Structure 1
Amino acid sequence: MSLVLKNVNKSFKEGDSTVNALKNVSLTVNAGDFIAIIGPSGSGKSTLLSIAGALLQPTSGDVLVNGTDIGKMKEKDLSSFRLTDVGFILQTSNLIPYLTVLDQLLLVRKMKSKVTEKDKEFAKSLLTSLGLGEKLNKFPNELSGGERQRVAIARAFVNDSHIILADEPTASLDSNRAFEVVKQIRKEVKGRNKAAVMVTHDERMLEFCDKVYRMEDGVLTLQK
């Protein structure tokens, strides 16, 4: 399983001018890779993540997931792709207040297909592996910030997605919880052999990543 961006460009119109958000970006993330992208606000990091997750189409260039060019998919197929092949972890956990921890995951499964007993057991095992086995029937307001973000991690993995995209997953956490969350993402990525990209401002988290890229003015370069 792999994510490959080849010579990707993305331009936006702003009034009479054109903003080049991504400039000839190329990136390969293989199964089991956990890479980070750092850089200042407005440098193009989130645009790259949105294109990798099929939320935006590139102006030019190719985006390949397991060899399939998602830029050539129809909208209906793209919706299915986003649900089954991509797991998103966002800055805030975005949990649904009236659903229990377990039901947060089962709702995502239900969007894909009918939920089976096997699906329920997989969701429970995911939550248990993230230290939430005792919290299955708790509601979001009964969890700490770190626990809510761990539920969001489990939700990203529950459809067994090939690609995991994390956008500032530690932004709302203190240092201890931030380290805990990134270590958990890495553990799940490695253990389940996923291709993962994390956008972050927090350079303390980079020690957990296999490679670090820097984005500046739409240009991506390998840092280590």
Structure 2
Amino acid sequence: MTTSGLHISNVTKYYTEGSNKISALERVSISVEPGELVAVVGPSGSGKSTFLSIAGALLKASEGEVNLNGHLLSKLSDKKLSNVRLKEIGFIMQSSNLVPYLNVLDQLLVVKKMSGRVRAADRAFAVQLLEELGLGSKLKSFPAELSGGEKQRTAIARALINNPNVILADEPTASLDTKRAHEVVSLIANEVKSRRKAAIMVTHDERMLEYCDKVYRMEDGRLSLAEPAKLEVTHV
């Protein structure tokens, strides 16, 4: 069995209300290999957030299994799950969630501090990432001095600083105009390919699907591979 990448097998998530079981996910299975960017689309309330939380080890499945780069999440203690989240997963959220009082370089280095001391090699890698993402001139800038696109590019770099194997992006273009949205998702796709990350992007924005290797639809807690002909992708 392949253990690199992200492999979710027959995952069900339900909540109990009195004697009733409320199902949020129904037997969801998906495999994402290193170097692959997969999109999950679907209406609000369809289960996308629950799915991403389980994929990111933030929520435990009621049934089924998540294999994240060889780690069976159901077998891990809370402490080991926390370590997996820090070292194996890079999160890119709807808003960049930058720390207001840290400059761009320190946004990345604070993540390294969480997992130990910051070495010279860590600082050099942070600078390399930021330069790669077009932020070489913004190392000392604070979030209030950045555009929306620059903030999201900083968030991408922050997600990559621990060299995680899996990238999970939750509506990364929600606050961006069309030009910046394409810029940000193109950068995510390029980083996923060049750094061989397994990546899932949850999005309402079907303009961004052209950058993805596969597209899945989530409806009523069920995940299915979308037929390309059914996707209305607008190119700009």
> TM-score surpassing 0.5?
yes
SS in 2 for 1:134: helix
- Per the TM alignment, residue 113 of structure 1 is displaced from its structure 2 partner at its CA by 1.6
Which residue in 1 is equivalent to 2:203? 200
* 2:73 corresponds to 1:51: no
* 2:158 corresponds to 1:149: no
Which residue in 1 is equivalent to 2:194? 191
Q: Residues 17-96 of structure 1: matches in 2 within 5 Å?
A: 17-96=20-99
Could you tell which deviates more after superposition, 64-73 or 134-143?
64-73
Give percent identity, aligned residues only: 59
**Deviating 4+ runs (over 4 angstroms):** none
Give the counterpart of 1:110 among 109, 113, 120: 113
Residue by residue over 1:128-164, the C-alpha shift from the partner in whole angstroms, topping out at 9 and shown as x without a partner, is: 0000000000000000001001000000000000000
Residue by residue over 1:75-94, the C-alpha shift from the partner in whole angstroms, topping out at 9 and shown as x without a partner, is: 00011110000000000000
Give the counterpart of 1:218 among 194, 207, 221: 221
Amino acid at match of 1:202: D
Cα separation, 1, equivalents of 2:114 and 2:137: 25
Cα separation, 1, equivalents of 2:170 and 2:20: 28
Cα separation, 2, equivalents of 1:68 and 1:97: 34
| Cα RMSD (Å) | 0.9
SS in 2 for 1:165: strand
Which residue in 2 is equivalent to 1:12? 15
Residue by residue over 1:11-37, the C-alpha shift from the partner in whole angstroms, topping out at 9 and shown as x without a partner, is: 023455322111000000000000000
Give the counterpart of 1:128 among 115, 128, 131: 131
Could you tell which deviates more after superposition, 77-86 or 67-76?
67-76
SS in 2 for 1:31: coil
Cα separation, 2, equivalents of 1:40 and 1:15: 27
- Per the TM alignment, residue 66 of structure 1 is displaced from its structure 2 partner at its CA by 2.3
Cα separation, 2, equivalents of 1:9 and 1:158: 32
Cα separation, 2, equivalents of 1:86 and 1:109: 13
Matched residues, number: 224
Normalising to structure 1: TM-score of the pair?
0.98
Amino acid at match of 1:13: T
Which residue in 1 is equivalent to 2:178? 175
Normalising to structure 2: TM-score of the pair?
0.93
Cα separation, 2, equivalents of 1:122 and 1:61: 37
Cα separation, 2, equivalents of 1:115 and 1:14: 46
Amino acid at match of 2:198: A
Cα separation, 2, equivalents of 1:40 and 1:9: 19
- Per the TM alignment, residue 67 of structure 1 is displaced from its structure 2 partner at its CA by 2.7
Amino acid at match of 1:69: L
List runs of 5+ in structure 1 lacking aligned partners.
Answer: none
List runs of 5+ in structure 2 lacking aligned partners.
Answer: 228-236
Could you tell which deviates more after superposition, 64-73 or 1-10?
64-73
